[in-house]
Amino acid sequence: MSSAFGQYFKSIWSNARSIFIGLGVTIRYFFRPHTVITLQYPREMDKLPERHRGIHFLETEKCIMCYICAKACPVDCIYIEGTRDGDIEGAYQGNKAVMTMFVIDYSLCIMCNLCCEPCPKDCIHMGQEFHFTGTERNEMYKNLLEDRRYTKDDDAWVKSKRPDIVRLAEEKKQKKLAVMEAKKKAAAEAKAKTQSAEASASEAKADPEPKPKESEAKEDKPAPPTPGGEGDKA
């Protein structure tokens, strides 16, 4: 019983002591304003380390829309849409590609930097910016093509451009098929030509001089002397 009481008062003393130590630090700095170490955030901000992993930024014109960053993302929070098969009105120009969407969902992103490391064009980076808040999940989408929040209007526009992407892909497919067909046809024609040339060459080899026809041979032979003819007279 006495040890329980002892433990009780000991913990009260320990807590009170830690409060007084903390207050002692506060009071010390309160009377020495020149040593103030707090910053008046958000008006004042400390310098962030150079390798700070903040909100991403994209160098759109360098992006080749290869999806490597999206595939590398462990939480699948990068959404890219666009085409490498042609042009779309109003789309954002990349490197041999146009993009309608390049969005990161910051309600999922874990700031791991795995999307930036494998980028072949070194065009997606984690920046110094860290202010990105919202009260709803859909407010946590950032449009990297315009470096601002992804809005409902953006979403409507992206959806309206999807048929164009499908059409361009289909057109490219058809073109490819036509080229393949033409190549196949040309190859078949060339093969047939070679085969017929080979056949006539082998025929010529097997029969170098054509034999005279039997009727022609008969005509060429001198007619046998007939009894009572000119030969007998001589």
Name the site residues for ligand SF4 (rule: CB under 6 A): 63-69, 72-73, 75, 77-78, 80, 104, 109-115, 119-121, 123-124
Minimum distance, C-beta of residue 135 to ligand SF4, in the bound complex (Å):
21
> In angstroms, what CA-CA distances link 233 with 90, 157, 222, 226, 230?
114, 118, 19, 11, 5
Minimum distance, C-beta of residue 87 to ligand SF4, in the bound complex (Å):
18
**Cβ closest to ligand SF4, residue 62 vs residue 167:** 62
Minimum distance, C-beta of residue 171 to ligand SF4, in the bound complex (Å):
23
**Cβ closest to ligand SF4, residue 77 vs residue 88:** 77
Minimum distance, C-beta of residue 33 to ligand SF4, in the bound complex (Å):
40
Among 71, 59, 56, CA closest to 121: 59
Burial class (CB in 10 A: 0-12, 13-18, 19+), 168: middle
Minimum distance, C-beta of residue 73 to ligand SF4, in the bound complex (Å):
3
Dist. CA 47–CA 126, nearest whole Å: 16
**Cβ closest to ligand SF4, residue 73 vs residue 158:** 73
**Cβ closest to ligand SF4, residue 77 vs residue 101:** 77
Residue with structure tokens 């494998």? 118
Minimum distance, C-beta of residue 74 to ligand SF4, in the bound complex (Å):
6
**Cβ closest to ligand SF4, residue 125 vs residue 167:** 125
Show the CA angle centred on residue 154, arms to residues 103 and 152, nearest 5°: 105
Dist. CA 156–CA 189, nearest whole Å: 51
Entry field: residues in the chain: 234
Minimum distance, C-beta of residue 105 to ligand SF4, in the bound complex (Å):
8
**Cβ closest to ligand SF4, residue 142 vs residue 161:** 142
**Cβ closest to ligand SF4, residue 111 vs residue 197:** 111
Say which DSSP state 139 is in: G
- Cα 116 to chain centroid distance, Å, stands at 14
Token representation of residue 129: 């910016």
Q: For the chain, list the strands marked E by DSSP.
A: 56-58, 78-83, 92-93, 98-105, 124-126, 141-143, 148-149
